[in-house]
Structure 1
Amino acid sequence: MNRYSSRGLAKVMAENALLSESLKKLNKATWYSVDKSDLDPDVLAKFVQMAADADTERFMDDSTEQSDRMLTQLWQSFVSTVLNPFMTKTSINGFLQRGSMFVFSTDQIRRLLNTTHFATGTTLIDLGAGDGATTEKYIPLVRRIYTTEKSVPMIRILSKKGFKLLDADSWWTNGEKFDVVSCLNLLDRCSDPEKLLADMKHAVKPDGRIVVALVLPYRPFDEFRSAVPEGKLLIAGKTFEQQVCSVIRDVFEPFGFNVLCWTRLPYLCEGDLVQDYYWLDDAVFILSVQNQKVVRPTVHVPQNECNK
């Protein structure tokens, strides 16, 4: 709690106020737009334009209100500093019940899945579900939801919310096939992303759908094992659009996936005493499975090639 001096705390609060005003004036349309001239024509044809909706605005308003709770933020900052040497950031957030993420609203994912003739009454598994905040967006759309998670505090939260948990290391081996497999911001945070792609392909029904959200630019990192994952995806290009094209051409298609549609969305996270909320650029893809074998081998990453 004594991390901030009185002058330091006053400065942080003043900076937070300025940032809050700048966030209010931010042109959020840029979160959803793409440079069409930088996309391959076939990739552009599958792009679905989105915009901030009421659910998105509500998340940002709630995050702003949470950020303004000074005593709560000071306490969470202190506890986080104490626990940081012993726990992952995900587990610390679960322990403190903070840091919820927002990828899409129910209306947004309904629109994407409706594009692929999605219907209610299905089974879905959400991999690496965290605290289930995004998983809950699927509830109006599906009959039965399963989840996986490695963080023990997050597992407790998921259990309290009533989600059925499957083992994170063997979820695809229980014999059940899923209508929808949801993999949100996990391919760049797991040790072996190509194995995860193969597992998803094995676990989805022949006419099922896979939802993949991936932060671009691509910066792989595995917080549960080490800073450097065992392998990384072969994603080329410098811009968001170039990397989207590369993900489709160099990852999904060689693995036997069809990209039915995709969009750009902000990957929002609850803020702290410094800033009301944070965001990254997410590409969200809806995939189906082709009848072909996986052909691309795993690429191992030397220690100096991968940074958080």
Structure 2
Amino acid sequence: MNSSPLSFIRNFAQVLLPLVLFCSLPHILNNLTVTMAVRRNYRSSLVATIINKISEEEELSNLIKSGVWYAVKNLKNISDEGIVGKFEQLSLDAETDMFIKRSIERSDWLFTQLYHNFAKAVLSWFYTQTDINAILNRGTMFVLSRDQFIQMTDNFTGEKLIDLGAGDGRPTMAMFSSFEEVYATETSAPMRKILSANKIKVLEIEKWQNSGPYDMISMLNLLDRASTPITILNTAKQALKPQGLLLIALVLPFKPYVEASPTHRPTELMDIKGKTEEEQLVSAVQAIQAQGFRQVKWSKLPYLCEGDLSQSVYHLTDYIMVFKHQD
């Protein structure tokens, strides 16, 4: 049995902390020796948070109805005609809509969200934000639905898929049934446990290519969070079958951030330039193709994340791109 301090803390957070908080909350609220002004400020802050959240949900609803998540307004302004011709239009579908509705529902669980806020404050002393999300079973990400995956890859199937930086595996599941064997890499130990529980084979980050070659390699919002994105692309080229696909999702504007690094900066820089999303898209495609790939398709969609007490659904602008080996 693992009796390390970190193991004890993890078990406490997962099993005992919810019970302790639930039992202690009335006592805490009734017996804290704070001034009435502080109490009023706390209540006012909570009320303001809820009011702002209601307003945010109205804005979210308008955003969904407008279709702006999937629209490229300045498609004609993209300088590379070859890229323009490979655009694939996506749209909101039932699976994406279900994820949004589920996120809104969960964000309204007041006591659950209060518990999460309390637990995050405690666990942040010992864990990264990614670890905390796994321990608390929160913050699930959504990149593309099953139908969107089929559309972007022309219903591609194969023997082996590996999803690099897979998180809790929720985005991986859109691809899962198209392959006989599904592998993943992930730096977070709590996330790796979730992946294994979902029958995804977790490989060591330094040795994942040894289990190849792969029919598909996916990097869903990895390149802007990895310390060595160029090395990862080079390794993927070697580990991908000649007719295999490389699936990349990239948040634009491009803002690299490495969670595990003290400086939060990558050691390798992708040469992505431009002031607009369209300019950065062209630059990103060129940077990836410079590593030996050829773009097949691309599209725009939202990168969604389960919300909290402050916001129902977090969202960023994502560009999904499909590549093959250069001919």
TM-score in same-fold range (> 0.5): yes
Gaps of 5+ in 1: 292-308
Aligned counterpart, 2:104:
64
CA contact (8 A) 2:217 2:247 kept: yes
Aligned mates of 1:91, 1:161 — CA distance in 2: 17
Tell me, yes or no, if structure 1 residue 231 matches structure 2 residue 268. Answer: yes
Tell me, yes or no, if structure 1 residue 30 matches structure 2 residue 57. Answer: no
Gaps of 5+ in 2: 1-24, 30-38
1:211-242 deviation digits (Å, cap 9, x = unpaired) = 01111111011102231111210001111111
Amino acid at match of 1:53: D
Aligned counterpart, 1:51:
91
Amino acid at match of 1:262: W
TM-score, normalised on structure 1?
A: 0.89
TM-align CA RMSD = 1.6
Aligned counterpart, 1:276:
312
Pick from 138, 157, 169 the counterpart of residue 206 of structure 2. 169
Tell me, yes or no, if structure 1 residue 247 matches structure 2 residue 284. Answer: yes
Amino acid at match of 1:178: Y
Tell me, yes or no, if structure 1 residue 264 matches structure 2 residue 300. Answer: yes
1:173-226 deviation digits (Å, cap 9, x = unpaired) = 34x200000110000001111001011111110110000111111101110223
CA contact (8 A) 2:158 2:215 kept: no
Tell me, yes or no, if structure 1 residue 201 matches structure 2 residue 240. Answer: no
Tell me, yes or no, if structure 1 residue 106 matches structure 2 residue 146. Answer: yes
Correspondences of 1:139-158 after superposition (within 5 Å): 139-158=176-195
- SS of residue paired to 2:250: strand
1:26-69 deviation digits (Å, cap 9, x = unpaired) = 24411111111221211110010111111110010000000000
CA contact (8 A) 1:104 1:134 kept: yes
Amino acid at match of 1:31: W
Aligned counterpart, 2:257:
221
Aligned counterpart, 2:137:
97
C-alpha deviation, 1:87, in angstroms: 1.4
CA contact (8 A) 1:180 1:204 kept: yes
Aligned counterpart, 1:294:
none
- Structure 1, 57-66 or 6-15: larger mean CA deviation: 6-15
Aligned counterpart, 1:286:
322
- SS of residue paired to 2:167: coil
Aligned mates of 1:95, 1:274 — CA distance in 2: 20
Aligned mates of 2:122, 2:182 — CA distance in 1: 35
> Closer, same or farther in 2 for the Cα pair 1:146/1:64, shift >3 Å?
same
Q: How many residues align?
A: 286
Percent identity, aligned pairs only, is 39
C-alpha deviation, 1:253, in angstroms: 2.1
- Structure 1, 189-198 or 221-230: larger mean CA deviation: 221-230
TM-score, normalised on structure 2?
A: 0.84
1:56-89 deviation digits (Å, cap 9, x = unpaired) = 1001000000000000001001111222232111
Aligned counterpart, 2:175:
138
Aligned mates of 1:285, 1:123 — CA distance in 2: 19
Amino acid at match of 1:30: V
C-alpha deviation, 1:139, in angstroms: 2.1
Aligned mates of 2:128, 2:183 — CA distance in 1: 23
Higher helix share: 2
Aligned counterpart, 2:11:
none
Amino acid at match of 1:165: V
Amino acid at match of 1:274: S
Aligned mates of 1:252, 1:287 — CA distance in 2: 9
> Closer, same or farther in 2 for the Cα pair 1:62/1:236, shift >3 Å?
same
- Structure 1, 35-44 or 124-133: larger mean CA deviation: 35-44
Aligned mates of 2:322, 2:156 — CA distance in 1: 14
